[in-house]
Amino acid sequence: MKFNMLVVEHLVEKLMALALGLIVLLVFSNVVGRYALGTSFAGAEELSRLLFVWLVFLGAILTLRRRAHLGVELVQARLPRKARRVCAVITHLLTLYALWLFLVGSWAQTEIGLHNYSTVLRFPNAFIASAGLVCAASMILIVASNLLKIVTNHPDAVMAGDPPKVGALPDVSLAKTTPAGVAK
């Protein structure tokens, strides 16, 4: 399963890079067209906005998956393991509730967007709202999976305040150096 998740993560990274490249190309060509040729592609702004929304939400999913969101673990790091576990369960449940609200709201906006269309390109506005739907559903799976690991005491469970796992960061202490600091 881990291999498949790495493949999915790599695919999402490629989609994000493609979206960013298209945004740059659309905005740049629109600016050049406007100032050099006196004309521009009217749908470039709509398409750039659509791509940007998807870029942000896909990035949020990857960030959660990689546990890279900002967090303050100062208090939790000082708690005993059982108390950290209780805190982790409570925060995961609250996060799942917030993500459920996000999912329900995104579903409602996607349904509304099926009958509303963008001004220039005339694509359904559901394309924009569905980015939130995909984001919320993916995040629910990630958080629920970690919550299950915490509750079952699985060794791969991640809780705020836990020390970094061995192998999570490169071990630079193994490098042999001379007194001048040059590696042998």
- pLDDT tens per residue across span 115-132: 999 999 999 999 999 999
Quick one: pLDDT at residue 171?
Answer: 46
The per-residue pLDDT for 1 is 53
Evaluate whether residue 62 is within a structural domain: yes
Residue 143 lies in a domain: yes
Answer whether residue 170 is part of any domain: no
Residue range 139-159, pLDDT digits in tens: 999 999 999 999 999 998 888
Q: Is residue 34 part of a domain?
A: yes
What is the pLDDT confidence band of residue 39, given thresholds at 50, 70 and 90? confident
* 88-107 b/e (C-beta count within 10 Å ≥ 16 → b): beebbeebeeebeebbeebb
Please state the rounded mean pLDDT for residues 69-81: 82
SS3 label, residue 79 = coil
Nearby residues of 127 by Cβ (< 8 Å), 6 or more positions away:
50, 113
E strand or H helix at 109: helix 81-113
Is residue 176 domain-resident?
no
Least confident of 3-7, 17-21, 111-115, 126-130: 3-7
The candidate with the shortest Cα–Cα distance to 107, out of 129, 128, 124, is 129
Is 29 within a domain?
yes
| CA distance to 24, 63, 96, 129, 147, per residue, from 103 (Å) | 30, 18, 10, 10, 18
**Contact (Cβ atoms closer than 8 angstroms) between residue 93 and residue 150:** no
pLDDT of residue 166: 60
Q: Does residue 155 form part of some domain?
A: yes
Closest CA to 53 of 118, 120, 146: 118
DSSP per residue over 27-68, as a string?
Answer: HHHHHHIIIIIS---TTHHHHHHHHHHHHHHHHHHHHHHTT-
pLDDT band with cut points at 50, 70 and 90 for residue 69: confident
* Count of domains forming the chain: 1
- Sign of the C-alpha dihedral computed for residues 68, 55, 2 and 147 taken in this order: positive
Residue span of the structural domain in which 105 resides = 2-159
**For residue 184, is pLDDT > 70?**
no
Provide the token pair at 140. 């629910």
In a domain, 154, yes or no: yes
